[in-house]
Structure 1
Amino acid sequence: MTGQGLGSGPITGVRPLGGGTQNIMATFEREGRRYVLRRGPRHLRPRSNDAILRETRILGALRDTAVPHPRLISCCTDPGLLDGAVFYLMDPVAGFNPSLELPALHAGDPGVRAEMALSIVDSLALLGTVDYRQVGLEGYGKPDGFLERQVPRWMSELESYRQFEGYGDRTVPGVERVARWLTRNRPTAWQPGIMHGDFHFANVMFERTSPRVAAIVDWEMSTIGDPLLDLGWLLATWELPDAPGIFGGAFMKSGGLPEPGALVRRYAEQSARDLTAIDWYVVLACFKLGIVLEGSHARAIAGLASPETGAELHTATLRLFERALRTMDGNP
């Protein structure tokens, strides 16, 4: 930090920050300025450092855009300083995570919560308008064949769970039917753009004094793909029955929220993208996210993850596939 002109003297006021499920975040102060440090989990996975470096690239690319995001200060690519972990520093976000808390203003006024919902859609639509080439993200993802890759990629992921002891021949009810429907109904034309990759309410922070989005956070799954999948992801997790707190917590249980159709109409007002096939993106989001969560269930069965967490996420997978099937049948 000293070598980059980021203050001098001791680091003080160190404390951990919550909100994520894997990566570590902490805040501290140096010479009167507060920072947030983000790095991979304590026990690094093979691609943990790559994910952190990807985050720094996209946060840097968004710096001069109107998309609300944490401001990147600096990145350390040397894994030798923090026991094998690369890390980056960013400015703190003045806001709150609605999956963890709802301040009195937001908890006590259904109108404020409705505006929060519309604000998150506005932020997502704004992200979809950014030209990824102009902000230096050429090569950040592989948009060619993006939609075609989704079903085989995630069916292969589901098949890989058989390696976990005890999971065996288990499967997710309806997965084959959903896969066939997605393949038959895949859109033939779409416009590549920046995707957040895990867009739901727990990955957005809001201002404490208004319903406005303060920052979209946790960019580790971002890529260049079809931004409408982010909208589908939001709709797939919207007021999902028996959903874990990571999909919105207290906010999603607060009541009085706009219906999914209102969210789609709001997005259409802000975007030139063709939303004719939005149900397809909702089904794909249910399919992909459900398979991702099922991985935790498989690891839990094998004794490699918390049984309680595994059971909770498996329930969420079942609810997601039920939503996918209803959406396919025209009854979302």
Structure 2
Amino acid sequence: AAYHWEANRVLARLHQLDWAQLGLQGYGRAGGYFERTVRRWTQQYRAAAAVTGEIPPMERLADWLPGHIPAGADEPACTRLTHGDFRMENLMFHPERPEVVAVMDWELSTLGHPLSDLAYCCTAWHLPPGLLRGLGERVDGVPSERAFVQRYCEQAGLAQEDVLAHWSFYMAFSLFRISAILAGIGVRARQGNAANARASDIAALAEPVAEMAWRIASGRQPP
């Protein structure tokens, strides 16, 4: 658990950085992150669907998400520097202790909403085993998703009740984004230019991931 808590600490610290003071005003747009990102990934998904076929739960999510953005979440005041791909695989730990010495793979970083990073990190508690690499399906000592979210809220100074009240949106949003990415992989697999030899198998998870997101969004699967 110590490694998860350290990742949690680093994520909260990242979101406490003053991006304006760091000269990152041109790194993205302040405010409107969720509306803008849902629209972009909807376009990406539909471009892929024109080649590989429509995914019904993605269509439902594309309609549902814009109308369920939490009040105030797209205000400029919520803007933080976000990593975009924050997960354990992108952290370099000290070889002898649970200390993050580097955060890698910043190509998706932008000015966004901090809870998009947190929810994306927490998709590891939801994604099917075929998308995850590791020694097995369960590891002793890993904190629960709720405990991870609560610890982040404590370190970031956020009200847990407010975050958890809208957690279904944040998780559905993150899974929607992942499914759109998988749909894009499906296009490359069909065209024969995918980098991963398992691209077809990975792309086949687009619909199960979208269905999971829709179950969460519609309240049929607690996040």
* TM score, norm. by length of structure 2: 0.86
The Cα of 1:243 is off from its aligned counterpart by 3.5
* In 1: Cα distance, 2:129 partner to 2:54 partner: 20
The Cα of 1:251 is off from its aligned counterpart by 6.3
* In 1: Cα distance, 2:56 partner to 2:86 partner: 25
CA RMSD of aligned residues (A): 2.1
* In 2: Cα distance, 1:206 partner to 1:309 partner: 28
Q: Is 1:331 aligned to residue 222 of structure 2? A: yes
Question: Structure 1 residues 306, 138: CA separation in 2 closer, same or farther (over 3 Å shift)?
Answer: closer
Tell me which residue corresponds to 2:87. Answer: 200
Q: Give per-residue Cα distances to partners, 1:110-137, cap 9 Å, x unaligned.
A: xxxx111111111111111111001111
2:139 to 255, 261, 278: 255
Give the partner amino acid of 2:145: P
1:146 to 26, 29, 33: 33
Aligned partners of 2:119 and 2:170 also within 8 Å: yes
Tell me which residue corresponds to 1:231. Answer: 118
* In 2: Cα distance, 1:307 partner to 1:142 partner: 33
Tell me which residue corresponds to 1:240. Answer: 127
After the TM superposition, which of the residue ranges 303-312 and 279-288 deviates more from structure 2? 303-312
The Cα of 1:205 is off from its aligned counterpart by 1.4
Q: Give per-residue Cα distances to partners, 1:213-272, cap 9 Å, x unaligned.
A: 222111011000101100010112335223434xxx226745122111111011011012
The Cα of 1:171 is off from its aligned counterpart by 2.0
Structure scoring higher RCO (CA < 8 A, sep ≥ 6) equals 2
* In 2: Cα distance, 1:148 partner to 1:201 partner: 27
Question: Structure 1 residues 177, 225: CA separation in 2 closer, same or farther (over 3 Å shift)?
Answer: same
Give the partner amino acid of 2:158: R
Q: Is 1:273 aligned to residue 158 of structure 2? A: yes
Unaligned stretches of 5+ in structure 1? 1-113
Q: Is 1:285 aligned to residue 174 of structure 2? A: yes
1:3-152 superposed matches below 5 A:
114-152=1-39
1:301 to 173, 190, 201: 190
The Cα of 1:150 is off from its aligned counterpart by 2.1
Tell me which residue corresponds to 1:182. Answer: 65
Q: Is 1:264 aligned to residue 155 of structure 2? A: no
The Cα of 1:201 is off from its aligned counterpart by 1.7
Question: Structure 1 residues 140, 251: CA separation in 2 closer, same or farther (over 3 Å shift)?
Answer: farther
* In 1: Cα distance, 2:65 partner to 2:90 partner: 26
Q: SS of the counterpart of 1:281?
A: helix
The runs of at least 4 aligned residues of structure 1 exceeding 6 Å deviation read none
* In 2: Cα distance, 1:222 partner to 1:307 partner: 23
Which structure has the bigger radius of gyration? 1
* In 2: Cα distance, 1:118 partner to 1:283 partner: 23
Give the partner amino acid of 2:134: A
Question: Structure 1 residues 320, 118: CA separation in 2 closer, same or farther (over 3 Å shift)?
Answer: farther
The Cα of 1:162 is off from its aligned counterpart by 5.1
Q: SS of the counterpart of 2:125?
A: coil
Identical aligned residues as a percent:
31
Question: Structure 1 residues 313, 263: CA separation in 2 closer, same or farther (over 3 Å shift)?
Answer: same
Aligned partners of 2:28 and 2:110 also within 8 Å: yes
Unaligned stretches of 5+ in structure 2? none
Q: Give per-residue Cα distances to partners, 1:13-33, cap 9 Å, x unaligned.
A: xxxxxxxxxxxxxxxxxxxxx
Give the partner amino acid of 2:194: A
Aligned partners of 2:82 and 2:111 also within 8 Å: yes
The Cα of 1:323 is off from its aligned counterpart by 2.7
Aligned partners of 2:168 and 2:222 also within 8 Å: no
Q: Give per-residue Cα distances to partners, 1:29-48, cap 9 Å, x unaligned.
A: xxxxxxxxxxxxxxxxxxxx
1:312 to 201, 212, 216: 201
Greater share of strand residues, 1 or 2? 1
The count of corresponding residues between Structure 1 and Structure 2 is 212
Aligned partners of 2:49 and 2:183 also within 8 Å: no
Q: SS of the counterpart of 1:284?
A: helix
Q: SS of the counterpart of 1:116?
A: helix
Aligned partners of 1:141 and 1:224 also within 8 Å: yes
Question: Structure 1 residues 147, 199: CA separation in 2 closer, same or farther (over 3 Å shift)?
Answer: same
